[in-house]
């Protein structure tokens, strides 16, 4: 960033004020229409979208916007089915909010309006370019990125203090150091039973990805067209996680539920989550901070993000685009970010409130350069299920690492073969 002289600062703030004043006097349109928005999220997204729609209605008072928000309580597969069901019935919404995992699954079916030209407009100039690049499929961009989430290690500072253990470094902790920290934080009672865990080995695809990435590998190959499960580094990662559970005893066996409630109650010291956990942590008054995931060979973490798309056959593409502009605006992103709706895709939507909690919140953006998107092939639902099934069995000790990776590899290759047959 160029050096900002005091004079330039005065000028630019003057310009900002003028722009804000001009923006306040929004152009009003008399257009009448009804638009439906189908998106996903929790309380933060609900509040953000509602506010965005209210602002949109200032410019378009005669346009009714109908919003439906899916909480994604059972994974993205069901959301894909829901959306496809809407298209199949000939009743799609006009604007869809969805996440990168589903981008290809939808784009491959030609559901969306191409947005390459739309994205060149000024209002999108401050979106991180890597996000826009990831929103393209087959050379066509169909999504306007919104917030994003990367996985960090969230830790309970109060528990660290009580145990007299130093906080993890912001970046660069090694796997072995992490293991030792987790062991130091695991508490046992007189009989040797664990009453507090140092870490939760994740039970979700998205949360466990950094462990592979920081070992320089991934579960799928680079262009997401086949399995990479036979890579010895994948097995190494799985073995490390397995040992955390069964040898070091710092984590429970991953089950059907996540351990967020236990983390909030102080019964797990560290978990791998994204920025969305801020909502709950603040509500529970948790003294929490974040650190970058521990590194074995490569500094990396996984990123997942959301985007808005417009249905190809929408009746009013112009109004839909105007709505998308509002839904992805600076204000909306800032509001959502503050409430834990993900890190804003626009750099300047980062507010002091966002940076206030957790204490190292600036780390989210600091790690952006070395994030790798979560593998999202067109058959994502199947891939995720296959992986989690074998991963769960391996973590439970029901399947050996070698058997599990071989079986997962075979099933994944099968699934990709079927995908190619269908022309996906």
Partner 1 sequence: MRSDLQRAEAMAGWLFAAPAGLLYASFVLAPVLLTVVLSFAYYDPMMGSRWVGLENYERFLTDPRSLGILWNTLRFTLFAVTGNVLLGLLLALALNRAMPSWLLSLLRLSFFLPVIVAAAFASIVWSYFLADDLGVVNHYLRLAGLPGVRWLTDGQTAMASIVMVDVWKNVGFFVVVFLAALQGVPRALVEAAAMDATPAWRVFLRITLPHIAPVAVFCVVYASIGALQVYESIVILTGGGPGDATRSLSILMVEQGFGSFKIGYAASISVVMTVIILLITAAQQWVSRRWVRP
Partner 2 sequence: MGLAALGAAVTRTRAAARALDWAIVAVLALLAVGMLLPFLWLFSMSFRPVSEAYRMPPSFLPDSLDLANYRAVLDSRVPFLRVYGNSLLIALVVTLGQLVTCTLAAYAFARLRFRGRDALFSAFLLGLMFPAQVTILPIYLGYARVGLLDRPMGLALMYLTSSFGIFLVRQFMLTQPRALEEAALMDGASHWTIFRRISLPQLRPALAALAIITFTQTWNYYFQARVLLGREESMTLPVAMDVMRGYLASGNLSLVMAAMAMSLLPVVLLFLVAQRFVIQGVAMSGIKS
Interface contacts to partner 1, rule CB under 8 A: 75, 77-78, 80-81, 84, 87-88, 109, 191, 193-194, 197, 252-257, 262, 267, 379, 381-382, 385, 389-390, 392-393, 395-399, 411, 422-423
Tell me which stretch binds partner 2 (CB under 8 A): 23-31, 80-88, 345-353, 380-388. Answer: 80-88
First to last CA, the chain: 43
Q: Does 391 bind partner 2 (CB under 8 A)?
A: no
- Binding piece for partner 2, criterion CB under 8 A, among 121-129, 148-156, 273-281, 339-347: 273-281
Report if residue 258 touches partner 2, rule: CB under 8 A: yes
Residue 174, binding choice from partner 1, partner 2, none, Cβ under 5 to 8 Å by partner class: none
Number of residues located near partner 2, criterion CB under 8 A = 35
| One residue of 59, 123, 177, 262 binding partner 2 per CB under 8 A | 262
Provide the minimum distance between the beta carbon of 195 and partner 2 in the complex, in angstroms, as a whole number. Answer: 7
Question: CB 74 → partner 1: shortest distance, Å?
Answer: 9
Most distant pair of Cα atoms in the chain: their distance: 73
Task: Give yes or no for a contact between 244 and 194, defined as CB atoms under 8 angstroms apart.
Answer: no
Note whether 315 and 92 are within 8 A (CB).
no
Q: Which is nearer to partner 1, 126 or 403 (CB)?
A: 403
Q: Is 28 exposed, middle or buried (0-12, 13-18, 19+ CB in 10 A)?
A: exposed
Asked if 271 and 200 count as a contact pair (C-beta separation under 8 A), the reply is yes
Nearer to partner 1, 23 or 110 (CB): 110
**Rounded-to-integer distance, Cα 216 and Cα 134, Å:** 20
- In the complex with partner 2, which residue's Cβ is closer, 70 or 94? 70
Packing angle between helix 232-246 and helix 380-396, nearest 10 degrees?
Answer: 50
- Quick one: 368 or 388, whose CB is closer to partner 1? 388
The nearer residue to partner 2, 257 or 421, going by C-beta atoms, is 257
Q: Any contact of residue 284 with partner 2 (CB under 8 A)?
A: yes
Under rule CB under 8 A, residue 71 binds partner 2: yes
Taking CB under 8 A as the rule, does residue 68 contact partner 2?
yes
Enumerate residues 167-226 that contact partner 2 by CB under 8 A: 195, 204
Residue whose token pair is 């058959």: 379
Tell me how far apart the alpha carbons of residues 43 and 50 are, in angstroms, rounded to a whole number: 11
- Whole-number minimum distance, CB 285 to partner 2, in Å? 9
- Is residue 70 a contact point for partner 2 (CB under 8 A)? yes
Q: What CA–CA distance (Å, rounded) separates 30 from 239?
A: 62
Q: Which partner in partner 2, partner 1, none is near 381 (CB below 5 to 8 A by kind)? A: partner 1
Interaction between residue 265 and partner 2 (CB under 8 A): yes
Closest CB 150 distance from partner 1, rounded Å = 25
Which sign does the torsion angle of CA 415, 417, 420, 421 carry? Answer: negative
Q: Which residue has the tokens 């499960």?
A: 229
Q: Does 34 bind partner 2 (CB under 8 A)?
A: no
**95: helix, strand or coil:** strand
Return d(Cα 151, Cα 270) in angstroms, integer. Answer: 12
CB of 73 to partner 1, least distance (A): 11
- What residue 284 binds from partner 1, partner 2, none (CB within 5 to 8 A, per partner kind)? partner 2
Q: Which does 71 bind (CB under 5 to 8 A by kind): partner 2, partner 1, none?
A: partner 2
Q: Which does 46 bind (CB under 5 to 8 A by kind): partner 1, partner 2, none?
A: partner 2
Least Å distance between CB 92 and partner 2? Answer: 11
Selected from 73, 117, 222, 423, the binder of partner 2 by CB under 8 A is 73
Q: Does 14 bind partner 2 (CB under 8 A)?
A: no
Taking a C-beta distance cutoff of 8 angstroms, is the pair 230, 409 a contact? yes
Non-local (6+) Cβ contacts of 230 within 8 A are 405, 406, 409
Helical axes 330-339 vs 43-59, angle rounded to 10°:
160
CB 219, CB 228: distance < 8 Å = yes
Strand pairing category for 268-273 and 194-199: parallel
User: Under DSSP, is residue 306 helix (H, G, I), strand (E, B) or coil?
Assistant: strand
272 touches which of partner 2, partner 1, none (CB within 5 to 8 A by kind)? none
Nearest residue to 316 (alpha-carbon basis) of 57, 53, 35, 117: 35
297-315 burial, b at 16+ Cβ within 10 Å, e below that, comes to: eebbbbbbbbbbbbbeebe
- Interface residues with partner 2 (CB under 8 A)? 42-43, 46, 68-75, 82, 85-86, 88-91, 195, 204, 256-258, 260-262, 264-267, 276-277, 280, 283-284
């Amino acid at each position: 960033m160029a050096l900002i002289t005091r004079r330039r600062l005065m000028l630019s703030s003057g310009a900002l004020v003028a722009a804000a004043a001009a923006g306040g006097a929004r152009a009003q349109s008399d257009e009448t229409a009804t638009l439906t928005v189908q998106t996903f999220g929790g309380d933060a997204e609900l509040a953000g979208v509602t506010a965005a729609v209210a602002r949109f209605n200032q410019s378009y008072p005669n346009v009714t916007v109908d919003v439906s928000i899916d909480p994604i309580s059972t994974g993205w597969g069901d959301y894909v089915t829901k959306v496809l069901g809407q298209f199949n019935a000939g009743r799609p919404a006009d604007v869809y909010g969805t996440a990168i995992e589903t981008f290809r699954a939808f784009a491959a079916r030609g559901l969306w309006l191409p947005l390459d030209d739309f994205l060149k407009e000024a209002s999108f100039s401050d979106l991180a370019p890597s996000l826009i690049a990831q929103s393209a499929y087959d050379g066509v961009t169909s999504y306007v990125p919104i917030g994003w989430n990367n996985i960090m290690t969230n830790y309970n500072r109060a528990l660290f203090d009580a145990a007299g253990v130093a906080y993890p470094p912001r970046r660069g902790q090694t796997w072995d150091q992490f293991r030792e920290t987790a062991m130091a934080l695991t508490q046992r009672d007189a009989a040797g039973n664990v009453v507090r865990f140092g870490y939760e080995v994740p039970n979700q695809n998205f949360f466990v990805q950094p462990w592979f990435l920081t070992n320089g590998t991934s579960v799928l190959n680079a262009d997401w067209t086949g399995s990479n499960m036979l890579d010895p580094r994948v097995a190494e990662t799985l073995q490390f996680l397995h040992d955390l559970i069964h040898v070091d005893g710092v984590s429970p066996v991953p089950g059907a539920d996540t351990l967020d409630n236990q983390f909030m109650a102080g019964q797990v010291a560290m978990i791998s989550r994204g920025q969305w956990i801020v909502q709950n942590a603040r509500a529970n008054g948790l003294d929490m901070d974040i650190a970058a995931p521990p590194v074995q060979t490569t500094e990396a973490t996984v990123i997942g993000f959301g985007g808005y798309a417009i249905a190809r056959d929408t009746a009013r593409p112009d109004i839909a685009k105007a709505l998308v502009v509002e839904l992805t605006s600076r204000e909306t992103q800032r509001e959502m970010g503050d409430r834990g709706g993900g890190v804003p895709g626009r750099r300047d939507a980062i507010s002091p409130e966002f940076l206030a909690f957790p204490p190292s919140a600036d780390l989210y953006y600091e790690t952006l350069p070395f994030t790798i998107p979560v593998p999202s092939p067109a058959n994502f639902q199947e891939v995720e299920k296959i992986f989690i099934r074998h991963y769960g069995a391996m973590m439970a000790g029901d399947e050996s690492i070698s058997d599990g990776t071989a079986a997962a590899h075979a099933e994944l290759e099968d699934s990709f073969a079927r995908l190619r047959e269908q022309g996906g």
